[in-house]
């Protein structure tokens, strides 16, 4: 009998506190697939064993959308039942170990969720994390069950010449009827979420390498025929990843063969399946004609990220999904460090750090303050796919970074050696097992017994259990007579869903003092020390309120607080404009130098937003002149200048306000951009001309920084042209768009015209489309640019509705759906938040349409309304109505249901 869950029954909440070890272990799995898009047959032969540590109970195997044909235990038929999707076996042999054979079929061609086994462009792919394996066969679909996998794939040889799975190829050959087979054996035990298969017409770039340890490996990047000319950068990134992990952490490649396969239908960026990483094409394919510098950088970091998971995630995995940040936070930290270590100099490292912090503050801080706020190690969830969040990933990475900082000492000022020692101990203790975030932190602390981390570990771990962004309120006191300077810190953390009161965090605050008149980095002398130790100090705060005093301070200095963004907190300090200008001009810490400029701009924006009357910009002469100095600075590099000259985003500005009027924010920020464009016109012209020629294309940090600055300059020049009737710069932009020899320059020129709303944007967009109509990833950019376009008169929504009717729009392809729908709803606040509520209506229609196709993608889109409670009227009420409209749909997925019910909760 088929059991249907009543549409109104609330979905089950899964709680971390309910964890119990599995009642059975699976030792070996032999999977045989007869691949057919309409009906794939899966034979699953397992050896299982009772877990002696758990009371005797039935075996409950997870399954989803499977057709069950046969179940055999030790070769004989057995009784079983199906209960809420699970296959339940009660009469199992008393022997310790037994064989279970399950035969099922599934329908990959109908799988629009892209979880489990699915078809994309006539090839087969799988995605199993978090709970997709149960859509392939009945199994104990949980990460703490680790088994040895052998996989045989059978398929039509002409249609599916390439047959891949995890590990090493054991055997392959021809079968009857034009079919062939391949058998793969994975030498490592793994949880089923790391299983993968790929079958189709693919070609590969390959490279043999010998590691430092003297082992030979075969690296392969598989793509569709026709995409080979876009695989070099992914391969280079993979080789760099192998070298880096061995050099920095002593972690070598443990497989003879390591494969990356690209697919254009993928729910997220990429997946770290053991030895067979499956990637979204967006994070593999690049050449200078089709990909921008940002694409190149993203490919490097995602290739690195998935490769680094081979140790942090695959060799040591998560005990349960609440521990997701164990592998994700750590692996993001590793990929951030990898990209930084590949940078040519300290300035490019700082640029990377600023970019990472910008992501954290514009995406994670709002998440931490909204209805979906959750600790880095959550306590409960309804749908685990909703918890692949910026909190788990990016805040999780900041926690790991703080651990590194807190192992630092005199001989190891950054903590890199201490942290590496901790990693070594972590692998010595836990290799081959499924563990918790606590196990990780314990290993890092135990390897550094004298460190601040070891001393403060239980308190440090509050970062894992408490949600919300702490605020560090700072005041200072200069005693001119005693020549002392005191910084008083008070920490607080707002309530988050389910967590009213918070206990004090361990906050590592890296700080320095800058001379108010000299701009010099001042030597720091603590009471009791005879001499100044250095000009930077790590203050480890543990109490709700604490102070630190420096001696021999000859004049009132400017404090540089939270250098390098040493903790994921908000620093609240009432800087004067003069102090910020000093930091912007002189802070030796590039992060705080950038931050000073952002604070100045933010202050001016908030002032204009709150003022009465029409939205105007009131950037003062001192700010404009400071920006000019940065732009024209003889030694600062271009990438850093581009960051300083970019105003805080509308989302970031909105986060600083209690009541958000998105139209007002947009109008003020646009006015500020126009003022910067006009008043620095001569400087932008200089910047463009000085940075527009960059010789042969190379995606390195230095030349991509130059292209970024030239791109910003061009967009400012086109913006200024709007109000001055200038036709020269739009003309130049059009020329550059036509002549560019790389996608970065071409796309920057196109964007400059489109965002400025210039008449030349129309022919340029048409030309771009016809040039790149056969390049899916470039078409995504074309769609995204139009859906993300600056709204001048409310035309963007109707343009978006037209784009949905474009013959190249396919809602089932997540990249394409994101390029239009997400670019509008999540990345274009000035166009999305309309007083007539039409943007919200559009959002609700799209969430519902997507939910029927692909709940994971729909739930991501649903998050666009997270911050609705902060909105001013009429937006707030209209948003409320739109969310209720979605919530009223009876057969919503758990994914969307969880997001909208949290949004509506008090
Ligand atoms: N681990 C995967 C993400 C899986 C998402 C499942 N909904 C990619 C990554 O973080 O490397
Ligand atoms: Zn990851």
Per DSSP, the residues of 28-56 read EEEEEEE--SS-EEEEEEEEEEE-TTS--
Which ligand 1 atom is at minimum distance from the Cα of 393?
A: 10
In the prediction, which pLDDT does 4 show? Answer: 40
Q: Give, to the nearest 10 degrees, the angle between helix 855-862 and helix 838-853.
A: 160
State the CB neighbour count (10 A cutoff) for residue 861. 22
pLDDT value for 7? 45
Confirm whether 306 is a catalytic residue.
Answer: yes
Nearest ligand 1 atom to the CA of 269 is 8
Residue 445 tokens, joined: 């602390």
Contact (CB, 8 A) for 466 and 433: no
∠ Cα 750 755 760 (to 5°): 55
**Mutation test residue for ligand 1: of 126, 270, 326, 386, the one with most atoms within 8 Å of CB:** 270
Q: How far apart are CA 393 and CA 330, in angstroms?
A: 8
pTM of the model: 0.98
Using the atom order of ligand 1, give the atom closest to the CA of residue 306.
11
Å from CA of 358 to ligand 1 middle: 22
Q: SS3 letters for 84-122? A: CCEEEECCCCCCCEEEEEEEEEECHHHCCCCCEEEEECC
Distance of CA 327 from the midpoint of ligand 2 (Å): 7
- Ligand number nearest CA of 397 is 2
Task: Determine contact, residues 606/648, Cβ cutoff 8 Å.
Answer: no
The torsion region of residue 190 among left (phi > 0), alpha (psi -120 to 50) and beta comes to beta
Q: For residues 595 and 646, what is the distance between their CA atoms, to the nearest angstrom?
A: 11
Q: Is the torsion defined by CA of 667, 797, 647, 785 positive or negative? A: negative
Q: What are phi and psi of 581, to 5 degrees?
A: -65, -35
Q: Whose CA is nearest to atom 10 of ligand 1?
A: 328
Atom 8 in ligand 1: which residue has the minimum CA distance?
Answer: 271
* Residue 416, Cβ density class (10 Å: 0-12 exposed, 13-18 middle, ≥19 buried): middle
Pick the closest to residue 364 from 346, 334, 343, 388 (CA basis). Answer: 388
Q: What tokens appear for 300 in the block?
A: 């490097």
Q: Which atom of ligand 1 lies closest to the CA of 385?
A: 7
Strand order across the 81-83 sheet: 59-61, 86-89, 81-83
In the 8-state DSSP scheme, what is residue 820? Answer: I
Instruction: Find out whether 601 and 648 touch, Cβ atoms under 8 Å.
Output: yes
Rounded Cα–Cα distance for residues 110 and 117 (Å): 10
Would you give the DSSP letter of residue 863? Answer: G
pLDDT at residue 3, rounded to an integer: 38
Pocket test for ligand 1, best of 118, 141, 272 (most atoms within 8 A of CB): 272
Work out the angle at residue 895's Cα, subtended by the Cα atoms of residues 889 and 896, and round it to the nearest 5 degrees: 35
What are the helix and strand counts (H, E) for the chain? 31, 31
pLDDT at site 532:
74
> 271 CA distance to ligand 1 centroid (A)?
5
Name the β-bridge partners of 318.
435
Q: Which ligand is nearest to the CA of 388?
A: 1
Averages of pLDDT over each 10 residues, the chain, 906 residues: 45 96 98 98 98 96 98 97 97 92 98 98 98 98 98 98 98 97 98 99 98 93 98 98 98 98 98 99 98 98 99 98 99 98 94 98 98 98 98 99 97 96 98 98 98 98 98 98 98 98 98 97 92 89 98 97 98 98 98 98 98 93 98 97 98 98 98 98 98 94 97 98 91 98 98 97 98 98 98 96 98 98 98 98 98 98 98 98 98 98 95
If you measure from the C-alpha of residue 357 to the centroid of ligand 2, how many angstroms do you get, rounded to a whole number? 18
- Ligand 1, atom 9, lies closest to the CA of 271
* Residue given tokens 């400017």 in the structure block: 558
Task: Decide if 879 contacts 904 (C-beta within 8 A).
Answer: no
CA distance 281 to 300: 13
What is the predicted pLDDT for the residue at 9? 59
**524 C-alpha to center of ligand 2: Å?**
40
* pLDDT value of residue 344: 83
Helix (H) or strand (E) holding 295: helix 293-309
The active-site residue, picked from 131, 306, 337, 383, is 306
Kindly give the distance from the C-alpha atom of residue 16 to the centroid of ligand 2, in angstroms, as a whole number. Answer: 21
Relative to the alpha carbon of 330, which ligand is closest?
2
The 3-state DSSP class for residue 238 equals helix
Token readout for 635 is: 């030694």
- Burial class of 214 by CB neighbour count within 10 A (0 to 12, 13 to 18, 19+): exposed
Q: Calculate Rg over the CA atoms of the chain.
A: 28
Q: Which one of the ligands is nearest to 332 CA?
A: 2
Residue 599 is inside which H or E element, if any? helix 590-610
Contact 262, 303 (CB under 8 A): no
- Those residues whose beta carbon sits under 5 angstroms from the ion ligand 2 are 328, 331
Element (H, E) at 76: strand 76-77
Q: Which residues line ligand 1 (CB under 6 A)?
A: 129-130, 268, 270-272, 305-306, 309, 328, 385, 388
Q: Which residue, chain included where needed, has tokens 């810190």?
A: 489
Alpha-carbon distance values, 369 to 382, 469, 471, 829, 869 (Å): 20, 7, 12, 18, 11
Tokens 């443990």 belong to which residue? 254
Q: CA angle 266-84-892, nearest 5°?
A: 50
Q: Are strands 317-318 and 537-541 parallel, antiparallel or unpaired?
A: unpaired
């Amino acid at each position: 009998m088929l059991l249907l869950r009543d549409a109104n029954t609330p979905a089950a909440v899964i709680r971390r506190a309910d964890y119990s070890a599995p009642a059975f272990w699976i030792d070996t799995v032999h999977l045989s697939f007869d691949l057919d898009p309409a009906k794939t047959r899966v034979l699953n032969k397992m050896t299982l064993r009772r877990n002696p540590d758990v009371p005797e109970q039935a075996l409950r195997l997870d399954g989803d959308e499977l057709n069950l044909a046969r179940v055999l235990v030790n070769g004989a038929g057995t009784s079983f039942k199906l209960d809420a999707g699970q296959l339940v076996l009660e009469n199992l042999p008393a022997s310790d170990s037994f064989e279970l054979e399950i035969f099922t079929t599934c329908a990959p061609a109908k799988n629009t969720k892209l979880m489990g086994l699915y078809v994309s462009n006539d090839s087969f792919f799988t995605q199993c994390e978090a709970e997709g394996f149960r859509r392939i066969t009945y199994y104990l679909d949980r990460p703490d069950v680790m088994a040895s996998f052998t996989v045989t794939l059978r398929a039509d040889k002409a249609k599916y010449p390439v047959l891949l799975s995890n590990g090493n190829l054991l055997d392959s050959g021809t079968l009857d009827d034009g079919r062939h087979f391949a058998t793969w054996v994975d030498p490592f035990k793994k949880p089923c979420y790391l299983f993968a298969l790929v079958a189709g017409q693919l070609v590969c770039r390959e490279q043999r390498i010998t590691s430092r340890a003297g082992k030979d490996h075969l690296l392969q990047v598989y793509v569709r025929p026709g995409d080979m000319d876009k695989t070099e950068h992914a391969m280079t990134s993979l080789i760099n990843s192998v070298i880096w992990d061995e050099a920095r952490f002593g972690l070598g490649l443990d497989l003879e063969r390591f494969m990356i396969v690209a697919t254009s239908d993928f729910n997220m960026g990429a997946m770290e399946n053991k030895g067979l990483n499956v990637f979204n094409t967006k994070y593999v394919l690049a050449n200078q004609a089709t990909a921008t510098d940002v694409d190149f950088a993203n490919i490097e970091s995602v290739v690195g990220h998935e490769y680094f998971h081979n140790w942090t995630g695959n060799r040591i995995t998560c005990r349960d999904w609440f521990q997701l940040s164990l592998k994700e936070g750590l692996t993001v930290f590793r990929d951030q460090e990898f990209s930084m270590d590949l940078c040519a100099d300290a300035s490019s490292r700082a640029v990377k750090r600023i970019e990472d912090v910008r992501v954290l503050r514009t995406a994670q801080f709002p998440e931490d303050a909204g209805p979906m706020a959750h600790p880095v190690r959550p306590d409960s969830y309804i749908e685990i796919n909703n918890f692949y969040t910026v909190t788990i990933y990016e805040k999780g990475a900041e926690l790991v970074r703080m651990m590194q900082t807190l192992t630092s000492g005199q001989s190891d000022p950054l903590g890199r050696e201490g942290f590496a020692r901790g990693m070594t101990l972590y692998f010595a203790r836990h290799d081959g097992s499924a563990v918790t975030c606590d196990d990780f932190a314990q290993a890092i602390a135990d390897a550094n017994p004298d460190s601040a981390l070891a001393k403060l570990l239980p308190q440090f771990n509050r970062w894992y259990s408490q949600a919300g962004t702490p605020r560090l309120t700072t005041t200072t006191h200069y005693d001119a007579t005693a020549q002392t300077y005191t910084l008083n810190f008070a920490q607080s953390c707002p309530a988050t869903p389910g967590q009213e009161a918070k206990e004090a965090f361990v906050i590592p605050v890296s700080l320095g003092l800058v001379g108010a008149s000299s701009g010099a980095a001042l030597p720091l002398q603590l009471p009791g020390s005879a001499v100044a130790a250095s000009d930077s100090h790590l203050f480890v705060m543990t109490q709700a309120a604490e102070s630190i005093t420096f001696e021999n301070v000859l004049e009132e200095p400017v404090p540089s607080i939270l250098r390098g963004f040493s903790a994921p907190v908000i620093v609240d300090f009432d800087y004067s404009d003069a102090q910020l200008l000093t930091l912007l001009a002189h802070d030796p810490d590039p992060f705080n130098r950038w931050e000073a400029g952002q604070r100045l701009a933010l202050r001016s924006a908030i002032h204009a937003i709150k003022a009465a009357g029409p939205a105007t910009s009131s950037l003062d002469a001192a700010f404009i002149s400071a920006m000019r100095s940065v732009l024209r600075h003889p030694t600062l590099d271009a990438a850093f200048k581009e960051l300083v000259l970019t105003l805080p985003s509308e989302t970031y500005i909105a986060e600083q306000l209690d009541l958000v009027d998105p139209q007002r924010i947009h109008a003020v920020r646009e006015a500020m951009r126009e003022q910067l464009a006009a008043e620095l016109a001569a400087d932008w012209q200089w910047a463009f001309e000085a940075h527009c020629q960059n010789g042969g294309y190379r995606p390195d940090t230095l030349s991509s920084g130059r292209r970024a600055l030239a791109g910003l300059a061009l967009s400012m020049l086109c913006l200024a042209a709007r109000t001055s009737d200038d036709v020269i710069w739009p003309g130049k932009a059009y020329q550059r768009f036509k002549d560019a020899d790389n996608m970065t320059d071409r796309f920057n020129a196109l964007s400059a015209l489109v965002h400025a709303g210039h008449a030349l944007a129309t022919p340029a967009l048409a030309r771009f489309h016809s040039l790149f109509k056969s390049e899916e990833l470039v078409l995504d950019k074309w769609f995204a640019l139009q859906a993300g376009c600056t709204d001048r008169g409310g035309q963007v929504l109707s343009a978006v509705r037209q784009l949905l009717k474009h013959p190249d729009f396919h809602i089932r392809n997540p990249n394409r759906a994101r390029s239009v729908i997400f670019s509008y709803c999540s990345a274009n606040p000035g166009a999305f938040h309309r007083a007539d509520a039409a943007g919200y209506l559009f959002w609700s229609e799209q969430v519902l349409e997507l939910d029927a196709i692909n709940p994971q993608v729909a739930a991501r889109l649903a998050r666009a309304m997270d911050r609705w409670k902060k909105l001013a009227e009429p937006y707030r009420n209209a948003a409320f109505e739109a969310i209720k409209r979605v919530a009223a749909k009876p057969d919503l997925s758990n994914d969307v249901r969880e997001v909208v019910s949290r949004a509506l909760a008090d």
